[in-house]
């Protein structure tokens, strides 16, 4: 697997990482623990060195899974996790944001234990907390870096003003935000700002939460606990309309003798060499398919053709329900 550098941070990772969330959270019931461990270790065997988790995934159980799976390979891999929610430790119930410095430090102690490590390679603020100035958040992470408990600082779904303010206090290694042919807003303001500041970009939901793979249509049903049930973009009507983008991916994939998922990931990789997508899957054959995207080359002609076709398609439905949309882009 090729390596990529996340901006000027010096953090080098495999060109494609593994998003581990779905093994425990978000898309229906958690997978069996041993199966989850096997999947993560299969990724290591195939050259993946970048693993994404968060305190809130589970909560707690995804970090535990990632920690157990990666403990034999700890020195070979980069583990990224996230803080920023208020979570009841007993019930696991989430009740809003909490990026107060004292809380960040508490969360990091828990994450270190669950991840079975003495240092977190990349620590993101999961969502910008309007109650806590970003300078205080960056200052808290800076102290954790000075103490050796954290190696690099990241932000998730932050707006450009926040990115600049945070970066002035503690250099930001990477921003993680949604980006794919299903959600292109970062291209307007965020990516140029990251390039200017030398910050890496980690697109999450690079497969549009599965939609861009062509395996979901208006007849697909999701488990009752699946987050996509409350996403406007995933109503049956929106899915039906949005199949236009999948048709486009399918056409290009057929020409190149690859799959739509591979085109979706290759499209992200083709943007800039400091972009590292983190597709998630619970299945080995899909992991292999997704990693195969690292060798799919899209020429500037291909990219222009995609751009041209995409410009004629309007994606239907918001990417988040209103209460979650309020938390992004701040």
Ligand X SMILES: NC(=O)c1ccc[n+]([C@@H]2O[C@H](COP(=O)([O-])OP(=O)(O)OC[C@H]3O[C@@H](n4cnc5c(N)ncnc54)[C@H](OP(=O)(O)O)[C@@H]3O)[C@@H](O)[C@H]2O)c1
The residues carrying an active-site annotation are: 57
The answer to whether residue 280 forms part of the interface with ligand X (CB under 6 A) is: yes
x/- map, 13-32, ligand X, by CB under 6 A? ------xxxx----x-----
Pick from 13, 120, 173, 261 the residue near ligand X by CB under 6 A. 261
* Residue 44 and residue 77 in contact, taking contact as beta carbons nearer than 8 Å: yes
The answer to whether residue 205 forms part of the interface with ligand X (CB under 6 A) is: yes
Name which of residues 99 to 158 contact ligand X (CB under 6 A): 126, 156-157
The answer to whether residue 84 forms part of the interface with ligand X (CB under 6 A) is: no
The answer to whether residue 282 forms part of the interface with ligand X (CB under 6 A) is: yes
- Counted residue by residue, the chain has a size of 330
SS3 state of residue 177: strand
Pick from 5, 215, 250, 256 the residue near ligand X by CB under 6 A. 215
Name which of 231 and 308 has its Cβ closer to ligand X: 231
Tokens representing residue 236 in the block = 């049956």
Pick from 122, 206, 268, 269 the residue near ligand X by CB under 6 A. 206
Which one, of 28, 71, 94, lies nearest residue 280 by Cα? 28
Pick from 49, 52, 172, 258 the residue near ligand X by CB under 6 A. 52
> Could you give the strand order of the β-sheet that contains 200-204, starting from the edge strand earlier in sequence?
18-19, 50-52, 78-83, 120-125, 150-156, 172-178, 200-204
Name which of 47 and 329 has its Cβ closer to ligand X: 329
Smallest gap from residue 7 Cβ to ligand X (A): 17
The partner residues of 14 in beta bridges, in order of sequence, read 3
Q: Where are the beta strands (DSSP E) in the chain?
A: 3-5, 12-14, 18-19, 50-52, 78-83, 85-87, 94-97, 120-125, 150-156, 172-178, 200-204
> At 173, which helix (H) or strand (E)?
strand 172-178
The answer to whether residue 249 forms part of the interface with ligand X (CB under 6 A) is: no
Q: Summarize as ranges the residues that interact with ligand X (CB under 6 A).
A: 19-22, 27, 52, 126, 156-157, 176, 204-210, 213, 215, 261, 278-283, 286, 289-290
């Amino acid at each position: 697997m090729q390596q990529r550098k996340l901006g000027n941070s010096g953090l080098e990772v495999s060109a494609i990482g593994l998003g581990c969330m779905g093994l425990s959270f978000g898309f229906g019931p958690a997978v069996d623990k041993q199966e989850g461990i096997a999947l993560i270790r299969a990724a290591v065997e195939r050259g993946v060195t970048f693993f994404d988790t968060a305190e809130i995934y589970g909560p707690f159980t995804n970090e535990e899974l990632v920690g157990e799976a990666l403990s034999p390979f700890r020195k070979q891999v980069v583990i990224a996790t996230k803080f920023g929610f208020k979570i009841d430790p007993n019930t696991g119930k989430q009740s809003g944001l909490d990026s107060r410095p004292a809380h960040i430090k508490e969360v990091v102690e828990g994450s270190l234990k669950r991840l079975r490590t003495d240092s977190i390679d990349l620590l993101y603020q999961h969502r910008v907390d309007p109650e806590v100035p970003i300078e205080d958040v960056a200052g808290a992470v800076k102290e954790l870096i000075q103490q050796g408990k954290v190696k690099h600082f990241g932000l998730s779904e932050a707006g450009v003003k926040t990115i600049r303010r945070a970066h002035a206090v503690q250099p930001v290694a990477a921003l993680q935000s949604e980006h794919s042919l299903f959600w292109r807003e970062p291209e307007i303001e965020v990516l140029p700002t990251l390039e200017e500041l030398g910050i890496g970009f980690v697109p999450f939901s690079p497969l549009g939460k599965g939609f861009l793979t062509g395996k979901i249509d208006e007849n697909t049903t999701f488990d009752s606990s699946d987050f996509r049930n409350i996403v406007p973009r995933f109503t049956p009507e929106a899915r039906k309309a949005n199949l236009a983008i999948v048709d486009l991916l399918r056409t290009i994939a057929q020409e190149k003798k690859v799959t739509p998922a591979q085109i979706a990931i290759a499209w992200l990789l083709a943007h800039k060499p400091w972009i590292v997508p983190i597709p998630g899957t619970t299945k080995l054959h899909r992991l292999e398919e997704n990693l195969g995207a690292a060798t799919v080359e899209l020429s500037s002609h291909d990219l222009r053709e995609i751009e041209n076709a995409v410009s004629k398609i309007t994606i239907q439905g918001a990417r988040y329900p209103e209460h979650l949309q309020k938390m992004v882009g701040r």
